[in-house]
Amino acid sequence: MEVWSIVVAAGSGRRFGGPKQLVELAGRRVVDRSVDAMARVSAGVVLVGAADQLADLTTSGADRIVAGGATRSASVRAGLDVLPESATHVLVHDAARPLVPEAVCDRVVAALVDGADGVVPVVPVTDSLRSVDGVPVDRARLLAVQTPQGFRLDALRAGHAGDADATDDATLVSGLGGDVRHVDGDPVNLKITGPDDVRIAEVLLDD
Ligand code: C5P
């Protein structure tokens, strides 16, 4: 078994108002923190960046750097294309989650060792929920999905065949009937989406 990671960082940061992966959190860029977290738990890291930011990413510490695509799924596929032959499993991580605790990665890898096709870290939803039509939604039936998501490489490649598109990879592997398991995520593993998230992340780093 050889586990590699793909860190996707090629988003435009439209909701953030700029390239959030290059923003510094307590003196260190979001993307560098994410690459470092995945390097600790895998044999190598492929970083997928926006074509016009590749020069900024050479100091990230990633083993391979490649340009992404127009959608997150296309960016994951760009990463899949440059994995070494020796890789058997892959962790796909959003660069926008720079605080991922090592314990979350360890739980994902442990489930892969146990034979899962796919592994998704999840956390309970704590807010009360309503649909856009005003219909109350039972939060006990819902889970929020985080990254890194882990996969048997064959299973993830099959999910991405035919240029499929989804906001996460587990959706593509589940759609083919793969054995996709849940493990505990962590509320600390927040996704930097807006400027307020940078302030929250800095508080968490200060703890
Ligand atoms: O847009 P969203 O916040 O869901 O993006 C999640 C992750 O996917 C981010 O780290 C972003 O940089 C990455 N992404 C990408 N290529 C795209 C769109 C998003 O690598 N075309």
**DSSP for residue 195:** H
Q: Which CATH class is domain 3-206?
A: alpha beta
Predicted pLDDT at 206 = 85
Predicted pLDDT at 44 = 98
Whether cis (ω within 30° of 0) applies to the bond prior to 195 is no
Q: Which of 5, 8, 35 to mutate to test the pocket of ligand 1 (most atoms within 8 A of CB)?
A: 8
The alpha-helical segments, DSSP class H, found in 114-161 are: 153-160
3-state secondary structure of 123: strand
Predicted pLDDT at 73 = 96
Predicted pLDDT at 39 = 98
From the CA of 14, give the closest atom in ligand 1. Answer: 1
Q: Which of 21, 75, 76, 167 to mutate to test the pocket of ligand 1 (most atoms within 8 A of CB)?
A: 75
Question: CA 34 to CA 73: how far, in whole Å?
Answer: 18
From the CA of 49, give the closest atom in ligand 1. Answer: 20
Burial of 186 (0-12, 13-18, 19+ CB in 10 A): middle
Question: CA 78 to CA 92: how far, in whole Å?
Answer: 12
Report the chain (207 residues): mean pLDDT per 10 consecutive residues. Answer: 98 85 94 98 98 95 97 97 98 98 98 98 96 95 97 97 89 93 98 93 89
Predicted pLDDT at 109 = 98
Predicted pLDDT at 43 = 98
Question: CA 79 to CA 95: how far, in whole Å?
Answer: 13
